[in-house]
Amino acid sequence: MSALLELQGLVKRYGGLTATDNLNLTVNAGEIHAIIGPNGAGKTTLIHQISGALASDSGRIVFAGTDVTRVPMHLRVQAGLARSYQITNIFPRFSVLDNLALAVQARSGSSMRFWRPAVSERAMFEEARALADRVGLGGQVDGLAGNLAHGAQRQLELGLALATRPRLLLLDEPMAGMGHEESVEMIPLIESLRPEIAVLIIEHDMDAVFRMADRISVLVSGRIIATGTPDQIRCNLEVKKAYLGDELEDEVAA
């Protein structure tokens, strides 16, 4: 597998606190790579740095062979590095289909081409419909986005991110606030992105992480202490000592 994203010696400081501490990480094309770690380990900070929402103090972020460390967020999105939400927000009073169509238009539109639509309206809605099907909302395209259940809204956010045609999707706790049934629907959806789209996911639901991930990296105090397959991480003594311990044995009994 080839490296799609490489983080080299990445650092982020908040005053005297080093939240990302000389961090190295590789995400391969087409893999689902999960980052787990205790509260305050630096997971959200890291996702912000990769997406471009937060500037890094030092180190390099290389995406698809290009150094994007100083590249603004919208250009990272155009290059195929997208984050689930915060790319396009849901318009609650628009239908599911219209939300997706707008996201398609946002991707294909360009300020240099404002005098004519970048894609025909028909093509735009066809793509929006295909995206709705892909994220399991094919039966709800006419409903208002604001009326969707919580889990379905997360599915729509995923659809909006897919409208950017990412090569790497950053997912920050996609199952947060979901009930068991909603999580169970989300897992195959994320798995279905592979191998076309690589996924870097932060998720507290250990059961979901250990089911889905090809590889897991464990983040403690801003440093990756281990990277490996779910089985390797499950058996890693340093990981058990530093973080997972009994919690992992209870939740992810092999």
The stretch among 14-22, 90-98, 107-115, 139-147 that binds ligand ATP (CB under 6 A) is 14-22
Residues 6 or more apart in contact with residue 84 via CB below 8 angstroms: 157, 158, 160, 161, 169, 170, 171, 172, 174
Question: Of the two residues 17 and 184, which places its CB atom closer to ligand ATP in the complex?
Answer: 17
Query: Does 177 participate in binding ligand ATP (rule CB under 6 A)?
Result: no
The stretch among 35-43, 135-143, 180-188, 223-231 that binds ligand ATP (CB under 6 A) is 35-43
Out of 17, 149, 176, 184, the residue judged to bind ligand ATP by CB under 6 A: 17
Which one-letter DSSP state was computed for residue 94? Answer: S
Distance CA 97, CA 128 (A): 6
| CB 38 to ligand ATP: min, Å | 7
Query: Does 34 participate in binding ligand ATP (rule CB under 6 A)?
Result: no
* Bridge-based pairing state of the strands 81-83 and 198-202: unpaired
Site string for ligand ATP, 202-221 (x = CB under 6 A): --------------------
| CB 243 to ligand ATP: min, Å | 11
Residues 6 or more apart in contact with residue 7 via CB below 8 angstroms: 23, 24, 25, 26, 46, 50, 59, 60, 61, 62
| 46: enclosing H helix or E strand | helix 43-51
Which residues of this protein are in contact with ligand ATP, per CB under 6 A?
14, 17, 19, 37, 39-45
